[in-house]
Chains A and B, each alone.
Chain A
């Protein structure tokens, strides 16, 4: 059995899910902080 498709699959899952988690956390933080800053400026 060729092991490389399994290695590639495992790394793809780990990298994609980690990247999605970071992007979601970053986007939600920026959105929330922008809303808070906008309200403070009003």
Chain B
């Protein structure tokens, strides 16, 4: 990671990586979505609504992965004072917030025909909603601290402390009696039949590539803005 402490070296990697991620991501996501909508059979219990799985699961993963990235960037900033860490944390937040919102909305739409309700204040749904609000808080705090010319240390501490919500989201279906189904995809295997499951890795990887592209584009935008600000400051002296 320290190899990318130099913005010029980082940009040498980021420019082609953005292009590749923007090419691979939509292609994989489109193939996965089309396969999920047309080639897989309906579920024996949920019927056709199971097809929401192919967008709901990637968005849930990316909503949580975004905050994992923020926590990693926060550690990198607080411990090693990596110059790009604060920028990376700020870049991950809008993408994480968007995917957390997609997760909540698609979950709500899935819940109506499956559970008979749009919303239920149970452990999984509530902890995911809290994650979304935490993203909004992070974006507001980072913006305020940046405007004041701060180093972003308070934002980094908030990002690190906020990571406590991630295991709560993950284990919520085990800790509390919940309407949300239990863990159906684990490290050792899945309770979902392969005939339904197979397009999911395509949408997972596709949306993850798009998430990566958005983060890289935000970092590039922030580096360019910083360059302009530094130049204008020098010119005004």
Chain A residues close to B by CB (< 8 Å): 1, 3-4, 6-7, 9-11, 13-14, 17-18, 21-22, 24-26, 28-29, 31-33, 35-36, 39-40
Contact = CB atoms under 8 A, between A and B. Distances in A.
Given A10-B109, A17-B102, A18-B207, A29 B52 contact: no
26 contacts: A3-B48, A3-B49, A3-B113, A6-B52, A7-B49, A10-B109, A11-B55, A13-B105, A14-B106, A17-B98, A17-B101, A18-B98, A18-B102, A18-B210, A22-B213, A25-B213, A25-B218, A25-B221, A28-B218, A29-B224, A32-B220, A32-B225, A35-B225, A36-B228, A39-B227, A40-B231
A26 B218 CA distance: 8
B95 interface: yes
Given A7-B48, A21-B94, A29 B218 contact: yes
A36 B102 contact: no
Interface of B: 22, 33, 37, 47-49, 51-52, 55-56, 59, 94-95, 98, 101-102, 105-106, 109-110, 112-113, 207, 210, 213-214, 217-218, 220-222, 224-225, 227-228, 231-232
B52 A7 contact: yes
B217 A25 contact: yes
Majority secondary structure of chain B interface residues (helix, strand, loop or mixed): helix
A17 B100 CA distance: 11
Nearest to A11: B55
Contact of A32 (B98, B102, B214, B221): B221
B224 A35 contact: yes
Contacts of A32: 220-222, 224-225, 228
A39 B228 contact: yes
Nearest to A1: B113
B107 to A, nearest CB: 9
Contact of B102 (A6, A13, A25, A35): A13
B98 A10 contact: no
A6 B225 CA distance: 42
A14 B217 contact: no
Contacts of A35: 224-225, 228
Among A10, A21, A24, A29, chain B packs the most CB atoms within 10 A around the CB of: A10
A12 to B, nearest CB: 10
A33 B220 contact: yes
